[in-house]
Amino acid sequence: MEAKLSFTQDSPPISIISAAKVAGVSLSIDASLAVGSAPVLCFSSGESLRGVNPVLHYIAHAASSLSLCGRDAIEFGHVVEWLEYAPTFLSGSEFEVACSFVDGYLTSRTFLVGHGLTVADITVWSNLAGIGQRWESLKKSKKYQNLARWFNNIDSDYRETLNEVVVAYVGKRGIGKSPAPNLKEKVNVSKDPSAPEVDLPDAKFGEVCVRFAPEPSGYLHIGHAKAALLNKYFAERYQGRLIVRFDDTNPSKESNEFVENLLKDIETLGIKYDAVTYTSDYFPKLMEMAENLIKQGKAYVDDTPKEQMRSERMDGVESKCRNNTVEENLALWKEMINGSERGMQCCVRGKLDMQDPNKSLRDPVYYRCNTDPHHRIGSKYKVYPTYDFACPFVDALEGVTHALRSSEYHDRNAQYYRILQDMGMRRVEIYEFSRLNMVYTLLSKRKLLWFVQNKKVEDWTDPRFPTVQGIVRRGLKVEALIQFILQQGASKNLNLMEWDKLWTINKKIIDPVCARHTAVLKDQRVIFTLSNGPEKSFVRIFPRHKKFDGAGKKATTFTNRIWLDYADASAISKGEEVTLMDWGNAIIKEIKMESGVITELIGELHLEGSVKTTKLKVTWLPDIDELVPLSLVEFDYLISKKKLEEDENFLDNLNPCTRKETPALGDANTRNLQRGEIIQLERKGYYRCDTPFVRSSKPVVLFAIPDGRQQSSLN
């Protein structure tokens, strides 16, 4: 049914507009109501709804397949309660009170109602977004971390949908305080350093084009992920274009395997791009440009040996070839193109300024010879452009307006602009951000490749690797990675980040929904005989997660002989009453030992006992044949030093023990775990299933997931 939403220009109901966007409900907009009027939704039939909540109820019911009003009548009742509470955020005096209340409420929840997005989430999110800078400042202060986590999750999941609403109706000071920008007008650039958003210089809404340009010489790692997500952020914020370009200019290091996995990782991060291109697409034009620069006297061919050239550049000494004639240079250039013995001794250098204090301007190399076959075009070429030469050329050619580069390239910015100038091509703005560095972590692809080639890890997807596939395989949710990276923003300050912060975010995402199971260590367990236990075993059905029905059910078998972890058995005293989790209390009557080692506990059930009076609450497994063999795998950092200095060799700081496997037995339900499924083993921690059950002789492999607390060394 066609509908028109009318409201006052100074008070747009962004909760309604946002809900309609998420629900896919088409509305025409009329912002001409008199000041003070409530929003009205008018239908073509002549009927209408007045007020925010009635309209929200209509939208939620109109998109019934999305369950925006909850999954049942009880959840709908809670949704109504939240819709009535949501305006509290718009009351200046009550704003922080509301933030504090909802922050506490969200401690162990992912959504406000039930286990999925409802119109309650959209409304509260919209009201917070509508506050503008006050909420953004609070979010950055980390005062209300649960509320910020919830807000960022929705922002991440529905960014494309909600971004248009926020840009159009929310100014820096809040709803209606600044007019909606015309799509073709320049976005306001804030000079306030405390402003929540970061602006691109001279960016025009709808005209921005950015690019993410990885070299296909390895898999995407957490540092690349920051660059990729920042490009995505700016493309979406300015309603512009994002190009994924493979910088494939070094055939010795590159392969189709890397291209395919980089695209896979980009998809994993939820990045939608407008085009995929390759620098190799432009090789003919790049060669033509190099030849033109030679003819113009702006480049020359040099046969100076590599080490001597490096020394001369450091000392500001001009090459003996710098003043060769154009004819001499073109002749050597042809030798290079043919890959002749003479040509292989040469390279093409830009004729910039050998006396410049910025050494990147001291006649950089533009082209080198390489006879290795290229992964896309085979052995067609014997010469390949350097990154420094190809990047500005292709950026300008593809229409890139802003090139995002990490601040480690700062000294090369002048070179980038000078090369563009010599080429006679338009200027591309460089925007710098800080490289993401992690403690105890190597991000150099060359160094990571060493671990792969020397069999120190399985491959590029090894859980010890900082690659996207590696950390996801270890148990990191992509939402946590995105949240972590976007929290860093586009800051230019160099930071060494702790992994604990990332894993803490991850725990808050997985804990509310992951299933609970039980395991005992296979080589460190003790039998506990219950003298008054059930003579015949029986089964009860329990939820896999007591607070999340979506985790499903599990079957628990009760017997008169059960297994305890040895650590628990050794902490129990004779005569002590303990709680067997999900069963009840039991009293220890006898502790059998041989050579100081506990071999058996004997006791009796005391199910009428109070769990509040016991000191120990222990997990247990029935002594049955259906228990599942598990291999619990823990990991440690690949290097032993928090941060390696530039002059330190990583080979001198290798961690001798980075993987530890512990055999265990899991409850019978672990037989049904799927690859990639995340669970919690009660009182042991969180795990991701890497190898599911195949047969009893082969264990289910579970990778331990860090939870943000300091881990002890595996040594």
177 belongs to the catalytic site: no
Active-site option among 75, 139, 149, 215: 215
Residue 500 sits at the vertex; the CA angle it makes with 494 and 501, to the nearest 5 degrees, is 60
- Let me know: does 481 contact 222? Beta carbons within 8 Å: yes
**Number of other CB atoms surrounding residue 171 within 10 Å:** 16
129: which 2 tokens? 């977004």
499: three-class secondary structure by DSSP = helix
DSSP line for 320-347: TTTT--HHHHHHHHHHHHHT-TTGGG-E
- Let me know: does 508 contact 447? Beta carbons within 8 Å: no
CA atoms within 13 A on the CB side of 293: 30
Closest CA to 242 of 201, 271, 279: 271
Paired with 212 in beta bridges are: 244
Spatial CB neighbours of 150, under 8 Å, sequence gap ≥ 6: 106, 109, 110, 111, 112, 121
- Let me know: does 126 contact 166? Beta carbons within 8 Å: no
Spatial CB neighbours of 411, under 8 Å, sequence gap ≥ 6: 358, 359, 360
Active-site option among 139, 245, 382, 445: 445
Active-site option among 435, 561, 617, 671: 435
697: which 2 tokens? 């002789």
The radius of gyration of the chain from alpha carbons, rounded to an integer in Å, stands at: 31
- Alpha-carbon distance 259 to 275, whole Å? 14
445 belongs to the catalytic site: yes
354: which 2 tokens? 């050998």
274: which 2 tokens? 């407008």
| Residue listed under structure tokens 């929310």 | 170
- Alpha-carbon distance 438 to 435, whole Å? 10
Spatial CB neighbours of 55, under 8 Å, sequence gap ≥ 6: 5, 13, 16, 39, 41, 49
Paired with 687 in beta bridges are: 679, 704
- Alpha-carbon distance 17 to 165, whole Å? 7
- Let me know: does 478 contact 485? Beta carbons within 8 Å: no
| Residue listed under structure tokens 């409304």 | 123
604 belongs to the catalytic site: no
- Alpha-carbon distance 202 to 652, whole Å? 47
88: which 2 tokens? 């509290």
Measure the N-to-C terminal CA separation of the chain; round to a whole number of Å: 67
Q: Give the 3-state secondary structure percentages of the chain, helix then strand then coil, rounded to 5.
A: 35, 25, 40
- Alpha-carbon distance 550 to 512, whole Å? 11
Paired with 221 in beta bridges are: 467
Instruction: Please give the helix or strand (H or E) that residue 99 lies within, else none.
Output: helix 95-105
Catalytic residues: 215, 435, 445
